[in-house]
Amino acid sequence: MIPFIILAVIAIAGALGVILGRQPVHSALALVGNILALAVLYLLLSAEFLAVAQVIVYAGAIMVLFLFVVTLLTAGKEEGEPPEELGGQRWWAGIFAIGIGVVLAVLAITHPGSAVNTGIPSNFGTIHEVGHVLWGPDFLYLMAVAIMLLTAAVGVLVLNRPMKRSRVRRPGRREA
Amino acid sequence: MIQIVLLIVKVILLLLILMGGFAYTMLAERRFLGFFQLRLGPNRVGPGGLFQPLADAVKMMLKEDLMPLQADSVVYRLAPVFSLLAALSVDAVIPFGAPIHIFGQTVSLDIANPGIGLLIAFAFSSLGIYGIVLGGWASQNKYSLLGGIRASAQMISYELAMGLSVLGVLMMAGTANLENIVLAQRAQGWFFLPQIIPFLIYFTTAVAETNRTPFDLPEAESELVAGYHTEYSGIRFAMFVMAEYINMMTVSGLAVTLFFGGWLGPSFLPPIIWFFIKMAIVIFVFIWIRATFPRFRYDKLMSFGWKVLLPISFIYFLGTAAFVSGIL
């Protein structure tokens, strides 16, 4: 229970840091903290493969790409610049978030539910078990996700393909 | 209770080994570079320059710790810590020797021995990049920023090929536990023979991941001053250097564990000595490469990673999969 509370506090602090940080790099760092705290939570739930995949994929690759872009965009920006106009969105987002939180808390208190205590198999969450599930019964879904990701990657390439050379010929170069 | 005491002792021992290893790897590198370049290298402090690391340490600690006015103070201070932390934590899962029996206890020579040790090592080493990117960004200096951005692009590109290159070992051993990978090599022979191409790819990407010549674009002194650590001085600069050398020892240790039979060796020397001998040889090759090769051009580096290393390691990975599963 104590590790859970510590990790939960870190995760929530990270999540708050993401939306409260004025500097985009600070927000990204807070998100990394949140991701790492979640990874350790997965470890506590004995889902060790999920925990490591979370760190390698999210913290190690995706967030680094985030930082790659964010550091380029915010380099040399003054701290005192006014934040972008969001209108009343902050207030509405806050009201909705608090509302949803209250509803969830009320539901949790009124319907405590029987604790999920079915007992997990001895090698739950290990690399072998995850592999058996992914390449056994769930193989179809794995392939579907793979095709979806491939489509997205190809889509990015198609959308960003350079214009044909002949169309962007500069007028000054005609003599050469 | 005795387990906790043992764990603390092991952690302290590992830290001492890594720190001492860092100091003397650096000295060895400077002296070897001297010999390679037909000069002497640092040989004044103590016999043969043996006390040079102590002098360096005192110098680094007493230097003034500077920070640019425009720097982001929190991130600027955090970056070297993150770098060093990620570098140190990978070594927790590397088995340095066969389990030993002492005081009636069986002690395994690693801090932790999880079933997914190999993946954990990769997870921690993938975090090391934050220190470099953040250090480059927080300095608010265009050379540092360029160094940090180059580092992130380079490390992400080469991490893919690195991950694919060790999958063959994982499949041949049938486990991701580093100790069992070593034991599997006792039965099947060292993996570098059947996996020679993945080993070469692993080694190349390891050089790139540790940002060493010929892949040291993030700190290319001829164009970027010193890259991401241009603005750092004193102990924070030392932490970046420490992280780099400890990373070098770590990837060497992983190479020995995955491809060269870990602590296995003839029994006239204890296993842990074999491990350190092999590791020292790999580190020497690192230094040799640094003294020999010129630096890559940046676009060549990226296309080499994506268009050469990644496809080759992928094809070899598929071939190993076919072989291990018995199709071939």
Tell me the nearest-neighbour CA distance from A16 into chain B, angstroms: 18
Q: Show residues of chain B in contact with A56, CB under 8 Å.
A: 119, 122-123, 126
Q: Which residue of B has its CA nearest to A56?
A: B123
Q: Are strands B105-107 and B100-102 parallel, antiparallel or unpaired?
A: antiparallel
Chain B interface includes A92 (CB < 8 A): no
**How many Å lie between the alpha carbon of B260 and the closest alpha carbon of chain A?**
24
Please check whether residue A60 touches B, CB under 8 A.
yes
Say yes or no for a CB contact (<8 Å) between A126 and B115: yes
pLDDT tens, position by position, B63-117: 887 877 777 778 888 888 888 888 888 888 888 877 777 766 777 777 777 778 8
Contact predicate B131/B77, CB 8 Å: no
User: Band of the pLDDT at A176, cuts 50, 70, 90?
Assistant: very low
Determine whether the interchain pair B134/A64 forms a contact, defined as Cβ–Cβ distance below 8 Å. Answer: no
Which residues on chain A are in Cβ contact (under 8 Å) with B127?
A: 55, 59-60
The vertex-B286 CA angle with B13 and B200, nearest 5°, equals 110
Cβ–Cβ below 8 Å for A55 and B127: yes
Cβ neighbourhood burial of B36 (10 Å; 0-12, 13-18, 19+): middle
What DSSP line would sit under B23-65, residue for residue?
HHHHHHHHHHHHHHTTS--S--SSGGGTTHHHHHHHHHHHS--
| % of chain A exceeding 70 in pLDDT | 78
How many CA atoms, within 13 angstroms, populate the side-chain half-sphere of residue B259?
Answer: 24
| Beta bridge partner(s), residue B105 | B102
State pLDDT tens for residues B137-147: 888 778 888 88
The 10 Å Cβ neighbour count of residue A143 is: 10
Amino acid A170: pLDDT:
56
Contact: B137, A67; criterion CB under 8 Å: yes
B201 vs B161: CA distance, rounded Å: 7
At B200-259, the pLDDT tens digits run 999 989 888 887 778 777 776 777 777 777 778 878 888 888 888 898 888 998 898 888
> H-type helices in chain A, by residue range?
2-20, 24-44, 48-53, 63-74, 89-110, 127-135, 139-159
Mean pLDDT for chain B? 83
Average of per-residue pLDDT across A115-124: 64
pTM for this one? 0.83
Residue B92 near residue B111, CB atoms below 8 Å: yes
Q: A1-74 has which CATH code?
A: 1.20.120.1200
In the DSSP assignment, the letter for residue A124 is T
Q: Which two tokens stand for residue B86?
A: 């990620």
Q: Please count the CA atoms within 13 angstroms of the CA of B322 that sit on its side-chain side.
A: 8
Asked if the Cβ–Cβ distance from A68 to B119 is below 8 Å, we say: no
A95: pLDDT strictly greater than 60: yes
Closest residue in A to B171 (Cα) is A128
> How would you class B122 by CB atoms within 10 Å of its CB: exposed for 0-12, middle for 13-18, buried for 19 or more?
buried
Q: Collapsing DSSP states into helix, strand and coil, what is residue B236?
A: helix
- DSSP notation for B92-149: GG---S--EEETTEEE-SSS---TTHHHHHHHHHHHHHHHHHHHHHHTT-HHHHHHHH
Could you say which DSSP state residue B295 is in? P
Handedness of CA B101, B105, B111, B115 (dihedral sign): positive
- Mean pLDDT over B264-272 rounds to 80
Note the pLDDT of residue A167: 55
> Tell me: the pLDDT tens digits for B122-169?
888 888 888 888 888 888 778 888 888 888 888 888 888 888 888 888
Residue B177: list chain A partners with CB under 8 A: none
Could you tell me which chain A residue has the CA closest to the CA of B128?
A60
Gap between the Cα atoms of A66 and A60, Å rounded: 11
Q: Name the token pair of B154.
A: 């380079």
Quote the CA–CA distance of A143 and B187 in Å, as a whole number.
35
Instruction: For chain B, give every domain's residue range.
Output: 73-96+113-324
Please give the Cα distance from B207 to B290 (Å, whole number): 9
